[in-house]
A and B are shown apart, each in its own frame.
Chain A
Amino acid sequence: GAVVSQHPSWVICKSGTSVKIECRSLDFQATTMFWYRQFPKQSLMLMATSNEGSKATYEQGVEKDKFLINHASLTLSTLTVTSAHPEDSSFYICSAAGTGGTGELFFGEGSRLTVL
């Protein structure tokens, strides 16, 4: 199956700093990628849809100025958490849409963000 890789897998930062998480499709071109956030013992919550070459579409309640998404190429989307605070600590997961028409998603390994 298709491979999606996230980096870093975990990051610890101080409050007020910004953190960038990368999501790469390694063996296919992903015109659409998705970013999720998952709190402990909860389900994945979609944050935004990232389309190559255009602005991301954010879900209701997600601050686009705080969670900057860039999808500049067909294999890379980035999520930048700006001015991170402890409440932003979470597990962030990206996925890429398969090229077929069946709606299959390929997920990255996830990135654990801890804001001190």
Chain B
Amino acid sequence: DTAVSQTPKYLVTQMGNDKSIKCEQNLGHDTMYWYKQDSKKFLKIMFSYNNKELIINETVPNRFSPKSPDKAHLNLHINSLELGDSAVYFCASSHPSGGIYEQYFGPGTRLTVT
């Protein structure tokens, strides 16, 4: 009965590789997000999707691309991984149209680039 799930929880890969992180929410929310948390625990929003439409796109490298096949999924694809991409990535969802403004977070994916 997990609300927001992410796979994988841990990902170790080499520089230059391409990887994807999957996110699914079963809450019926209409907006999903991706965050990056660096080693100092600072949380930075990367993307948000509302009904399959990108509505916020912070200044992240274009090597990062969100893909949303449907309202319940928002996957993060990363091309040509770099050492600086090592971080914990969180998926989250909310339902503003239903008055639910707080975000519900997934368990996070720890990405380590070697």
A and B: interacting chains: no
